Amino acid sequence: MENEKRIAIGSDHAGFELKEQIKKLLESEGYEVTDFGTNSSDSVDYPLIAKVLAASVAAKNPNRGILICGTGIGMSIAANKIKGIIAANCFNVETAKLARLHNNSNILTLGGRILNLETVKDIVKTWLETDFEGGRHQRRIQEIRDLEKR
């Protein structure tokens, strides 16, 4: 995938603090970060944030995004409802690497109540810097695209 230095980020209240930390990290690495909120620790429904960010990533504007909620699970479920999105909830470097190599994920979801910052830094770096392997995995991605037509 086009490793452009633009990325979308979003969270609910449970991921807000981690979102702010990841945003700082990405900006210090030269990324242009589009922040879809939320902008405080006040309670907000994660599907609403997932919907707007995922729609933007599906339109390739920008072509990758990161969503954070308490577990990363709700964000991945919601984002995966948007056509063109492959959202992967990753919890270590290996899952982050494989979510790119095999799944060509365009959204990374993270659990703000589950992961520590050091692990998150490694996950984000790995996910951003790993390219899709293609080959047999491309056929499987196409099979997922076919499911979207059902």
Residues of this chain that interact with ligand RB5 (CB under 6 A) are 12, 14, 46, 69-71, 73-74
Residue tagged 């919890």 (tokens):
91
| Closest among 98, 97, 80, 50 to 144, alpha carbons compared | 80
| Closest among 129, 58, 75, 74 to 97, alpha carbons compared | 129
Whole-number Å distance between alpha carbons of 46 and 96: 22
User: Which CB atom, from 46 or from 127, has the smaller least distance to ligand RB5?
Assistant: 46
Give me the least distance between CB of 87 and ligand RB5, in Å please: 12
Whole-number Å distance between alpha carbons of 120 and 145: 29
User: Which CB atom, from 55 or from 73, has the smaller least distance to ligand RB5?
Assistant: 73
Give me the least distance between CB of 76 and ligand RB5, in Å please: 8
To the query of whether residue 69 is one of the catalytic residues in this protein, the response is yes
Helical pair 117-129 and 16-28, crossing angle rounded to 10 deg = 50
Give me the least distance between CB of 36 and ligand RB5, in Å please: 15
User: Which CB atom, from 78 or from 99, has the smaller least distance to ligand RB5?
Assistant: 78
Whole-number Å distance between alpha carbons of 22 and 67: 11
Q: What positions carry a catalytic annotation?
A: 69, 102
